[in-house]
A and B are shown apart, each in its own frame.
Chain A
Amino acid sequence: MEFLTAIFVSPFIEIYEYPLFFIEVVLGGLLAGVMYSLVALGFVLIFKASGVFNFAQGAMVLFAALTLVGLIEHGFPIWLALISTIIVMIALAMAIEKVVLRKLVNQEPIILFMATIGLSYFLDGFGQTLWGSDVKVLDLGIPNAPIEFLGILVNQFDLVAAASAGTLVAVLAIFFQKTRIGRALRAVADDHQAALSVGIPLKTIWAIVWAVAGLVGLVAGIMWGTKLGVQFTLTLVALKALPVLILGGFTSIPGAIIGGLIIGMGEKVAEVFWGAAFGGAIEDWFAYMLALAFLLFRPQGLFGEKIIERV
């Protein structure tokens, strides 16, 4: 009985009594969710364009963050370190296309998936060999302190992070919808064979998609790295992208974004208001439970691409 009250009554009383606090929690959750969205976005891009479930997305996030911090530690000014990291991520994407994907073209998805597991270990190891394995502090000079806005406390860094992520997504959307390459990317995502038949070179497109996923990974890496420190556990953040993908659908870009927001918000609200009922640490498993529920009732996800059937 006490347990039921803790689930069905007390949290709502609390929300009712402290509405501003509730809004703060929701906002904080949404802002954290932005970062899940970014990691999930990297997965979706690659999955859509090449049908590869890229297990190495988390490793790419870590690798990008490590490279950035490493360069800054070596005395690069921040802007130069950023540009250099972007170049490194693009070069990495091209190398992955040449060394891994090109050799495995036409193989079963499971083989490609295993290749990305290998890639993931390689990137983890290689990044740490290059830059060392101690936890690094990433500080781009953005204040990590709450400010008050209409009586609500929000973290400044989260705001900047969300704004950057929003800009990135908007730029990507324009790129996909309005440019020749973007159109070709969507064409490849729809039908590889047909894309080949009109002369779209798959290999170039794959390299571009991996590069874009690498850049998205870099932005995610900067955000997570600033929050948690740049360290091995960043790759585990990528695991959180899995429930986001299940929620949003593996092929939907809006799905990845909204899925991330829902999970970020959901787990914060659950933790703060329902945590006590479950003895805390809901945050660790809430996302997976939500994903499980989705798998049961809506396996294509919220926005899983409609399969157009028409004869």
Chain B
Amino acid sequence: MTENGSPLLTVNNIEVIYDHVILVLKGVSLEVSEGGVVALLGANGAGKSTTLKAISNLLGAERGDVTKGNIEYRGERIDKLTPSDLVKKGVVQVMEGRHCFEHLTVEENLLTGAYTRTDGASAINQSLEKVYHYFPGLKERRTSQAGYTSGGEQQMTAVGRALMANPTMILLDEPSMGLAPQLVEEIFEIVDALNKNEGVSFLLAEQNTMVALKHADFGYILENGRVVMEGDAKSLAENEDVKEFYLGLSSGARKSFRDVKHYRRRKRWLA
């Protein structure tokens, strides 16, 4: 794993079933260390969002169920907690597609992020100032209805809202989706800054492999509900298969890892 310290989050061989019949995750294991930025990569439909929702326990609201394996946060089982309890423990998810509260103002959106906090109005105000420090653009838009702000502003509102919970770990689902490259870079730089200055750990799901690996220190590649590859962000970025299939650096048609003879799949999930 990454160099610095004990795992903050451990996902052990989980299986997820939707609607009692649709098996989507077929044994996924991963770790995020304290202070780590871990990328969860893979094509559309690979199971990235499902993995994040299994951790944050938002699966229940989509009729999904973790049927095997377990999830630990600081060595403690969290798979039976409610999302609300988990937020109190410091784990917050920023959902794919941002999901701002459209009819609330930007500032009201941010304040909803502090719903679970009990440390008083002045502490919450400090957090608000902190969010505005990282996202100065949001301060200007604080009284606008979130539904009328731009995609980039909505993504920042969503991340800022999560930040308002004072999290130790943010599960960030496809922050780059639908944003111009420059904005994507901006958002990832804020992820870096939050990681360095505030000590927030990140598990980020991305299809944008190149950008994600640039900012992460470790990565997992999901395919069809299984982890097919994992490693340091650097080594993944230099891996020929990754380059070929996910960075689009080769001219050939995109195939599956399964088709690659020289690649031995890691069957961690069988262990």
Contacts and interface: CB of A to CB of B under 8 A. Distances in A.
Given A308-B147, A308-B148, A310-B148, A196 B104 contact: no
Contacts of A233: none
A196 B111 contact: no
Interface string B12-23: 000000000000
Given A184-B112, A310-B148, A311-B151, A201 B102 contact: no
B188 interface: no
A193 B115 contact: no
Interface stretch (B88-96, B196-204, B211-219): B88-96
A197 B104 contact: no
Contacts of A106: 61-63
Most chain A CB neighbours (cut-off 10 Å) among B82, B88, B145: B82
B150 to A, nearest CB: 8
A79 B43 CA distance: 64
B115 A200 contact: yes
Contacts of B88: 199
B104 A186 contact: yes
A194 B63 contact: no
Contact of A183 (B102, B112, B162, B178): B112
B115 A197 contact: no
B95 A193 contact: yes
B103 A308 contact: yes
A180 B110 CA distance: 12
A195 B58 CA distance: 10
B58 A199 contact: no
Contact of A200 (B95, B102, B112): B112
A23 to B, nearest CB: 37
B87 A199 contact: yes
Contacts, number: 87
Contacts of A194: 95, 99-101
A305 interface: yes
A192 interface: yes
Contact of B112 (A193, A195, A305, A308): A195
B247 to A, nearest CB: 27
B58 A196 contact: yes
User: Chain B contact residues: over half helix, strand or loop, or mixed?
Assistant: mixed
Given A106-B61, A191-B102, A197 B151 contact: no
Q: Looking at chain A, what size class is its interface with the partner chain?
A: 20 to 34
B61 A193 contact: yes
A6 interface: no
A171 interface: no
User: Chain A contact residues: over half helix, strand or loop, or mixed?
Assistant: helix
Most chain A CB neighbours (cut-off 10 Å) among B104, B111, B112, B164: B112
Interface in A154-194: 180, 183-184, 186-187, 189-194
Interface in A180-237: 180, 183-184, 186-187, 189-201
Contacts of B103: 186, 189-190, 305, 308
B84 interface: yes
Contacts of A200: 84, 112, 115-116
B92 A199 contact: yes
Given A183-B112, A198-B112, A199-B165, A193 B58 contact: yes
B73 to A, nearest CB: 15
Interface in B142-189: 145, 147-148, 151, 161-162, 164-165, 178
A250 to B, nearest CB: 15
Contact of A310 (B113, B147, B161): B147
B109 to A, nearest CB: 8
Contacts of A311: 151, 178
Given A193-B58, A305-B103, A310-B147, A201 B82 contact: yes
B230 interface: no
B108 A183 contact: yes
Contact of B61 (A183, A192, A198, A199): A192
Contacts of B104: 183, 186-187, 190
B83 interface: yes
A184 B145 CA distance: 16
Contacts of B147: 308, 310
Given A183-B104, A310-B147, A197 B82 contact: no
13 contacts: A106-B62, A180-B111, A195-B112, A196-B58, A196-B61, A197-B92, A198-B113, A198-B165, A200-B84, A200-B112, A200-B116, A201-B84, A310-B147
> Ordered nearest first, which 8 A-B pairs have the shortest CB separation?
A199-B87, A308-B147, A194-B99, A199-B116, A190-B101, A199-B84, A201-B84, A187-B112
